[in-house]
Amino acid sequence: MNSSLVGNQSGRPFCLLAISYLETINFCLLEVVVIVFLMVLIISGNIIVIFVFHCAPLLNHHTTSYFIQTMAYADLLVGVSCLVPSLSLLHYPVVLSESLVCQIFGYVVSVLKSVSMASLACISIDRYIAITKPLTYNTLVTPWRLRICILIIWLYSCLVFLPSFHWGKPGYHGDVFQWCANSWSTDPYFTLFIVVMLYAPAAFIVCFTYFNIFRICQQHTKEINERRVRFSSQDGEAGEAQPCPDKRYAMVLFRITSVFYILWLPYIIYFLLESSNVYSNRVASFLTTWLAISNSFCNCVIYSLSNSVFQKGLKRLSGAICASCTRQRVAKDSSTSRSKRSSNGCHV
C-alpha cells in the first residue's frame, strides 16, 4: 500500500487492526484468529465437497461438475495458502525474505481466485449452451473439450498475474506482511490491465448468460403451461403450472455466482480506489480482503443447501464414515473381549 500503513517502530508487532494488539501477547491476535478460522472452514469444507463428488456419481452427470470441482480444488489451495500469513503474524521464522514470500503469496491467491472467477464464467456459458442448443449440446460440450478449457483457465490465470512481480501489487490479501503494506504499491495501469483482462469480461459473461437463461426459461415455462392448459381443458382436467426443467439447476449456479460477486465487490471497489490514490485504510484493506477470501467456504454451503443430489451424496459419505467407525469399534470391542478371555484362561 502506501506510507499510511507504516509499521510501528517501537518493537510492537505490525498489526492491521490496532485493537488486536495486546501488551502481553507479541503477535496480532485478532488477525490470527480471523485467518485461522477461515483457513479451517475453507479447507474442511472443500475437502468435503471433493469427497462428495467422488462418492456421488450422479453429480458427475452434469458437465458443470468439472468446473465446480476445479473451483473446489482452487478454494482448497486458498485455504492451505492462508497458512503463510498465519505463520507470518505469529512471527514464525521463514527461510525466504519477507518481500519474496509476500509477492509469492499475493500472486498465488490472485491466481486461485482468478480460476474461481473464470470457472463461474465457464459454468454460465455451459448452461447457456445447454438451454439454447439442447440438440447439439452433447457434441459441442465433450469431456475432452472441458479438460482443455480447464487447462486454459489455469494457464490464463497464471499469465494474467505474472507481471505483478515487476509491475505492481495484484491485490491486498490483508497486507499482513509489513513489506507488502509499506513497499509494494499498486499501479493504476496494472489495475486497469487486470480489470480489462479478468474482472470486466467475467462479469459481462455472467450477466449476459444468466439474463438470457432466465429469459428463455421464463418463455419455456409460459409455453409449457399454455400447452398443459390447452390439453387439460380438452380432457376436462385442471393443469398445474410446471417450471422450466433447467431453471432450478441454473438457480443453484446463479446463487453461487451472486454470492461470489457480492463478497468480492467491496474488495474490487477498494482495489480501484486505492490504486487511484482516492482512499486508503488498513482496516478496510483487511476486512474487504478476507471477506472476499471467505467466499472459498461459501460455495460449499450454497451447493450443499441447494442441490438435492449433493445432499444425498453428503448423507452417503457421512453414512459410510459412521459405518466405518462402527466396524472399527465393534472390531476393537471383539478383540478386547478375546484378550480378556485369553487372559482369564491363563489364570485357570
Question: pLDDT by residue for the chain (348 residues), tens digit each?
Answer: 333 333 444 445 556 665 545 544 555 677 778 888 888 888 988 888 888 777 766 555 667 778 888 888 998 998 888 777 766 665 556 666 777 877 888 888 889 888 988 988 888 898 888 888 888 888 888 889 999 999 999 999 999 998 888 887 776 555 666 677 777 777 788 888 888 898 889 889 988 888 888 888 778 777 777 777 676 665 555 555 555 656 666 677 777 778 888 888 888 888 888 877 788 777 787 888 888 888 888 877 776 666 666 666 667 766 666 666 667 666 666 666 565 555 554 444
Q: What is the pLDDT of residue 8?
A: 43
Structural domain boundaries in the chain:
29-229+244-320
Task: Please name the residues in contact with 28: beta carbons below 8 A apart, sequence gap of 6 or more.
Answer: 13, 14, 15, 16, 17, 20, 21, 89, 176
CB-CB neighbours of 150 under 10 Å? 19
Q: What is the pLDDT of residue 335?
A: 62
If phi over 0 gives left and psi between -120 and 50 gives alpha, with beta otherwise, what is residue 99? Answer: alpha
Q: What is the pLDDT of residue 15?
A: 66
What's the grid cell of residue 330? 465393534
The domain defined by 29-229+244-320 carries CATH number 1.20.1070.10: yes
Whether this model's pTM surpasses 0.85: no
